[in-house]
Structure 1
Amino acid sequence: MFIVSYDISNDKLRTKFAKYLSRFGHRLQYSVFQIDNSSRIIDNIIQDLKNNFEKKFTQEDSVMIFKLSSSCEIIRFGYAKNDEKDFFIIE
């Protein structure tokens, strides 16, 4: 699992980056995405960051990618507790 956190000052670029990340994972917080894919996917994201986004960043912008191992423990509270459970809606 990977966590991508970003702080981008330009509204248009921030929106474009969020839409880009939503193709690979889901939003945990406003500027934080969880990506449950392979290392190949995160490598592609890093390449796209270097080739397409980084040149548009200012000194105020930052993107951080956290590579979490399978042994990492995630403790959830509040609404986030629902993320670790599969639930079904039957109509």
Structure 2
Amino acid sequence: MIIVSYDISDDKLRTRFSKFLLKYGFRLQYSIFQIRNSKRILSLVSSEIKNKFEKRFGQTDSVIIFNLSEQCKITRYGYAKNDEEDLIIID
């Protein structure tokens, strides 16, 4: 699993960045995304951040990518617990 956390002050750039991340994963919290884990996806995300976004970041902006292995222990509480199990809806 890859976790991307960001703090971007410019509203337009922040919106563009979050829409970019939505192509690869989903939002865990307002500025934290979970992205499908593969070397190809990580490479794509990293190169797009470097080539498209990095030159537009200000001195106070930051993006952090956490590449978590399967051995990492993740404990979830509240609504986040729903992400641990597959959900089947029968209509």
Question: TM-score scaled to structure 2, two decimals?
Answer: 0.97
The code of the aligned residue for 1:23 comes to: K
SS in structure 2 at match of 1:5: strand
Identity across matched positions, percent: 62
Q: Does residue 1:62 correspond to 2:67, yes or no?
A: no
What is the number of equivalent residue pairs in this alignment?
A: 91
**RMSD over aligned Cα, in angstroms?**
0.7
* Residue in 1 that maps onto 2:53: 53
Structure 1 moving runs of 4+ over 3 Å: none
Question: TM-score scaled to structure 1, two decimals?
Answer: 0.97
CA–CA separation in structure 1 for the residues paired with 2:18 and 2:87? 26
- 1:23-47 deviations in Å (ceiling 9; x for gaps): 1011000000001231111111111
Consecutive unaligned residues in structure 1, runs of 5 or more: none
CA–CA separation in structure 2 for the residues paired with 1:21 and 1:86? 23
Consecutive unaligned residues in structure 2, runs of 5 or more: none
